[in-house]
Amino acid sequence: CIQVHLAHAYNESEEADRVDKMLQSLTTMGVSVLSGAISTLMASMMLFVCSFNFFSTYGGFIFFVIFWSFVWSLGFFPAIMMTIGPNGSSGDITLLRKYLWGFKERGALQPKITVSVGAIL
């Protein structure tokens, strides 16, 4: 879930190449991502000392998920985005949307593929 914030900042970046886009996304969203991860990890550590087994297990689960999400988002995700991330118009789904959904003259979306009710029954 941390990667979503970084990917959104990457896509909204006005920089020209992948490396600069990723650096800008880490600069703009990195502090927020770090703060959120640290506060969630600290909150889950409080659940470790609970005597009720459900809460200690739930705290371990939350800690594991957030820790590995943080490691992935600041370790592997930037490297992947700098190597093969979308750049320019690559990764744009506008053509796919136009292919799957036809446009009327008014610009309203309607599906290209229609199924008659008789065929279903």
Indicate whether this model's pTM tops 0.95.
no
Question: Do 6 and 73 form a contact (C-beta atoms < 8 A)?
Answer: yes
- For 102, the 3-state DSSP assignment is strand
At position 99, the amino acid (one-letter code) is Y
Least Cα distance to 66 among 98, 41, 86 occurs for 41
Q: According to the model, what pLDDT value does residue 106 have? A: 46
* 27-40 pLDDT tens trace: 999 899 999 999 99
How far is the CA of 56 from the CAs of 36, 39, 49, 93, in angstroms?
Answer: 21, 17, 7, 43
* 105-116 pLDDT tens trace: 445 555 555 555
Q: According to the model, what pLDDT value does residue 60 have? A: 94
**Torsion sign, CA atoms 24, 28, 34, 37:** negative
* 42-89 pLDDT tens trace: 999 999 999 999 999 999 999 999 999 999 998 899 999 898 888 876
Q: Which residues contact 103 (CB under 8 A, 6 or more apart)?
A: 109, 110
